[in-house]
Amino acid sequence: MKKSIWKSNAVQSLLASLICIVLGLLIGYIVLLFINPAGAGKAIIAVIKNFMNYSRANLQLKNLGATLVKTAPLLMCALSVLFAYKVGLFNIGAAGQYTVGICASLYAALAWHWGWLACLLFAVAVSALWGTIPGLLKAYCNVNEVISGIMLNWIGLYTTNMILTNVKESTSPYTFHIANENPSAILPTLGLEKLFAGNTKVTVAVPLAIVLAIVISVILNKTRFGYELKATGGNKNAAKYAGMAEKRNIILTLAIAGALAGMGAALFYLTDYEQWQCTASSVPGMGFNGIAATFLGGLNPIGTIFSSYFIQHITTGGAYVDKTMYCSQISDLISSIIIYLCGFVLFLKFAMNSSIARREEKLAAAEKAANEQKGGDK
């Protein structure tokens, strides 16, 4: 019997993600209707259209570039969450690791005037160290990584504010522009700006993030190291029994997750797209949106590339809603609804599989009955 394509895991994941997206947008639309029925349809379309809200082609390209610039860090945060999740760890601390990554890259660029590569590597190192803290606590003290991660998010935020105050403009709470202080710290564009109507913020960061997603996919699926990590996630005690260093694996995983998030921070802030606000009262949403992208991407590094783009697409699109009626946070609302719905994915897959099984059973029964009838006629 031919294997139904609906049975394939990839198709089911894709279908489940699409259902989550459609339902998320639908609920977002209903919320808009409640706020003000007059402009709800227009607003949700503005969110979905994002850069296509512009009619001129080069403005569209420029704004597509802007969305891509922000997709790179989001993808890195999503990879950070994903990598840890494959090892059975929920890295909600990605937001904090991202924040200390910002701190390290901006301080190296603005205070020490390092080149971009040095700044990038410094951010990766600092965030990896930050990630080892919940790793050590988990491995040796059995502290739940979600709670320690949240605590470290806040500690990281306050530390970042404190340190970056040294390199901020005297009249505003924002840090200096890298372009004015130290142009050598800005990521090279490699001529990519020509593709996006001269948007010089589109740098090596975008292709680099995509390459890293592929690298993560290879590490997890094709190497012994990745296999050991996944085995540790599956059953810590069994991994230990099989001779794997389960404590080392947990610490290493969170260090790598931290490194990925920190790299995302450097890849974004070293474009000088945005400055850090030293009075920030909460960690950037990037790390949390990364969670949304991870689960929407069906827990697959390649799928995450697309889901990261989608999440960033609607987040940026939120800026285009009619501000006299709605606020841009409507996109945050939609992405959080999507994460909530992702919790139901397992159930959805189960429902799909059992409905397929039922149909096959019916078919088989009908075939059998038909055969018997033929037999009877003879």
* 282-313 b/e (C-beta count within 10 Å ≥ 16 → b): ebbbbbbbbbbbbbbbbbbbebbbbbbbbbbb
CB 254 within 8 A of CB 134: yes
Query: To 10 degrees, what angle do helices 116-141 and 94-110 make?
Result: 150
Of 329, 353, 354, 355, the one binding other proteins (CB under 8 A) is: 329
Residue 67 binds to other proteins (criterion: CB under 8 A): no
Give the C-alpha separation, 359 to 317, whole Å. 41
Minimum CB distance to other proteins, residue 242 (Å) = 24
Report helix, strand or coil for 145.
helix
CB 137 within 8 A of CB 150: no
Binding letters toward other proteins, positions 23-52, x by CB under 8 A: --------x---xx----------------
CB 264 within 8 A of CB 275: no
Of 15, 39, 67, 159, the one binding other proteins (CB under 8 A) is: 159
Select 103 or 206, whichever has its Cβ closest to other proteins.
103
Residue 339 binds to other proteins (criterion: CB under 8 A): yes
Q: Which amino acid is at 360?
A: E
Q: Give me the residue label for tokens 């996630």.
A: 233
Of 147, 190, 214, 242, the one binding other proteins (CB under 8 A) is: 147
Residue 354 binds to other proteins (criterion: CB under 8 A): no
Minimum CB distance to other proteins, residue 146 (Å) = 6
Residue 325 binds to other proteins (criterion: CB under 8 A): yes
Report helix, strand or coil for 52.
helix
Select 186 or 293, whichever has its Cβ closest to other proteins.
293
Of 340, 349, 352, 356, the one binding other proteins (CB under 8 A) is: 340
Residues that bind other proteins (CB under 8 A): 31, 35-36, 90, 92, 137, 141-144, 146-148, 150-155, 158-159, 161-162, 281-282, 288, 291-292, 295, 323-327, 329-330, 332-333, 335-337, 339-340, 342-344, 346-347
